[in-house]
Structure 1
Amino acid sequence: MDDNRRQHPRRAAFITAEYTVKEGTYQDFIKNISADGLFVKTWRKFVAEEPIALRFPLFQFDRTIHVTGKIVRNDHDGFAVIFDKPIHGLMCKEGQLPEIVNEGECN
């Protein structure tokens, strides 16, 4: 399977994420998320395959998720990341995602 393809369903989100890449540490919004990756909305562009570390609240505002991965694609409005290890709390049966406490349904 191609590394750039999602294995799990995604959900629209509006979650502030802090991420660190070779160039520095930044904050932008997660546009959508799945158990195996996410898309960050930003004007910044990074090199494909560049390692990235991300921190963001997901299920509870007082609990921060820490994940690592790599940038797999740049688009005009941001970049896609595939995680090194899936977020198990986002894996669900029958293609449905669990409720994410701090999300926004946005297109």
Structure 2
Amino acid sequence: MNTIVSFKISYKNCVLAKLIDFYSYCDKKGLNLYISYRNKSKKITQLSEMLATLLTNYKQDFLIIIEGKNPESALKYLAFSGTTGKKFKILFPSYIYI
């Protein structure tokens, strides 16, 4: 059974190095990653796509959507991994089971 997890990231709290690490984690686990901004959702299939999306839409909050088996692990990884010293604040996490 696939699960969808979504959460909002504030641009003020965005740590690029941590998001790069997060993408690698999702890719390794076989999770589908989407970024939603300006009422558009984009499936992220390469790291360069994610970076281009984040950098060209700077100063906006993003909705990150993760789909697959056990996407909660990716959410926990992002929130609690020690990639940087700055704490990563995740806003409004929600879960949908398919």
**TM-score interval for Structure 1 and Structure 2 normalised by the shorter chain:** 0.3 to 0.5
| Structure with bigger gyration radius | 1
User: Would you tell me which structure has more strand in proportion to its own residues?
Assistant: 1
Scaled by the length of structure 1, the TM-score of the pair is: 0.35
User: Would you tell me which structure has more helix in proportion to its own residues?
Assistant: 2
Scaled by the length of structure 2, the TM-score of the pair is: 0.37
